[in-house]
Structure 1
Amino acid sequence: MATQDVDPLDVERVRADFPILERDIDGQPLVYLDNAATSQTPERVIDAISEYYRSYNANVHRGIHQLSQESSIAYEDAHDRIAEFIGADGREEIAFTLNTTQAMNTVAYAWGLNELGPGDEVVLTEMEHHASLVTWQQIAKRTGADCKYIPITDDGYLDMEAAAELITDDTQMVSVVHVSNTLGTINPVAELADIAHDHDAYIYVDGAQSVPHKPIDVKAMDCDFFAFSGHKMCGPTGTGAMYGKRHILEEMQPYLYGGEMILKVDFDEASWNELPWKFEAGTQNIAGGIALAEACDYLDDIGLERIQRHEQQLTEYAYDRLTEHEDVEVYGPPGDDRAGLVAFNIAGAHAHDLSSILNDFAVAVRAGDHCTQPLHDVLGASASARASFYLYNTREEVDMLVEAVDEARQLFA
């Protein structure tokens, strides 16, 4: 369904689901525009966490008593729900993690350390989050492999001609961010998957900035690995998921060892539990996993197509308003062709100073390199301010952002 064809979002009704949005900051209403870092949490997700601890708090798969059975069923059902949410074939393809970063490290250590060697290559992009870039960089140093980077064009897109040249028969892994958390660029991951597979390479997709905002189908994009974090999609912190094609996960060895991930062990040898449990060593964030499934239900009840369309409208409006002034530089593609964020700078002002001034107006944005320091080097900026939007943000809040930016512009003029 095209996003322009969906019904509009009832934002005021949505906002009522989020208690924190009722806060004032020094007598001014909170304008929360830092959703790419962490989204807010609706009441029903908070209730799901509370209900677990109030009613059936127990470890999973380790008891035959009633509470453990209830907890185990809810936890397993949560895996099924996450699999359904992103189009995976079942719980066997979904391992819960603390966040996208842990998922990235799981793939890098469990697969990369065993499979990469001198002469092998990992292809990334210049817009990668540190979670991907630094992890593969360090794995390459340990294995003797090389990292190569797909450049970006002047307008913030991936240079796909360069990608086709960089991905060769020496490439073993392509690691790409689905949506740039700085540029807002939506990368053609299915096309990159085709190129990678033509060279018998795997592709890992960082979905931290896409899963909360648009429908995802991992089978349609044909990625081999996919990961995302709960705290960016109305879920709890310390939750996330790693998707992997089942046949790959079955061949991979775990890199965290301990309870739950063991099938059989003696003093000399150990064998691993079935999927996905062999990648979930020790007691997990059970309440968080269950609440993450509730967050998926919440987003589906709202409608991801509706959320995506709402964010597109806000982002295009914010882009147009901010670029009215020559002393404001917005990074990345045009406003009508990007995800729901805008990173920008004001001439003569450091992003941290700008963010501090916006905070005086109760406008919360992020300032810094957004864990994309090499990308900022490419952009020629030490840092940027970033406003990122979600389902509960309004056009009026964009106006409040722009008014606060105008105040800052006058101060630094």
Structure 2
Amino acid sequence: MSLHIADSGAPAQPDGIPDYPMPRAAGCPFDPAPALRDLRAEAPLVKVRTWDGSTPWLVTRHAEQRALLADRRISADVTRPGYPHVTAASRERRLRTRAFIGMDDPEHARLRRMVTAPFAIKRVEALRPAIQRIVDRLIDDMLAGPKPVDLVQAFALPVPSLVICELLGVPYADHDFFQRNTRVLVNRDQPPEAMREAVDALIDYLERLVAEKLAHPAADLLSKLGVEQVRRGELTAHELAVTGMLLLVAGHETTANMIALGTLALLEHPDQLAALRATDDPKLIAGAVEELLRYLSIVHSGRRRVALEDIEIGGRVIHAGDGVIMANEVANRDEDVFTDPDRLDVHRDARGHVAFGFGVHQCLGQPLARVELQVVYGTLYRRVPGLRLAVDRDQVPFKHDGLIYGVYELPVTW
């Protein structure tokens, strides 16, 4: 491996294999790590060394990522030898709460199919007026209160939390509890013991909630699954609790980070912010959402897989049992797919991005995330035209230790 790669933030061992993950450059919080760019320029697949000394393949280019994510010879099963877990604590969580995203078909398809309907595009579109009301109410509260305000706590976290709670049937009054434990689950530096405690707390909470839904069903997803699947023996109460935890955590944490980080990115690009603020064109707003998803790619720990068979791709051979990591943040900056990829351009057609993955495991909740972000980006800046940072950018705390990238706080005023 070249000295240039080591110098750009990917320390290499004597065998020349660089360590992964790699740090972002100081002062460039929206861009992938420089070392990832260098690796992509060298080859579409390279070996990297992870926390446990294993050396999975890192896939850096867009075409190879999509090909592998659609390849049935690549497994998402977290129990298989060679699966490249993010950390020891993450391995603890994934094995203790093995949801359908960590399985292969047919089990993956069986469990995923049960929760697909509420996230279908038509069903999600029907939620748009309710999401709009939530967004407007939170903006009303923010405008009526003191300033500056932390946009994360006042707006970015409550929007998706309220939506997913309503959809699942989780009491929003418990948001401090599940948000606190979620912060542990998505922090890369947490020890396994802390991860275990957070997982157990959430599963215990959801198992008690599932029991309540079975006794007194309502018009929500947990009740529906309890009545239709658990009572018929197609799903255990524990499996439903695990699925509920996945949807609850993913349903608020990812979108909350996109709201806050996307707002910061737009504040740093005032011409793009002005274009959004000045429009009520739903196509432009929807396009801006896709571009911000591409540009920010907040899932920056890579999509993890393990090979079931030998696969020849990109001039390399992935052998059966080899771990594979798809670095989607650098694939979304691939100049072979996106012209001038390091430029944020809300007018760009960015629909080919891999921010939600690709293939059978692509994000189940992407229609809901899109509608939430469309409502937020189409409303917040128009209603608060003077929105600006209340601190210098270098005082904003970024989640460099997170499995999902974002900011811990975003002090704003207007």
TM-score calculated relative to the size of structure 2: 0.29
TM-score calculated relative to the size of structure 1: 0.29
Structure with the bigger percentage of strand: 1
Structure with the bigger percentage of helix: 2
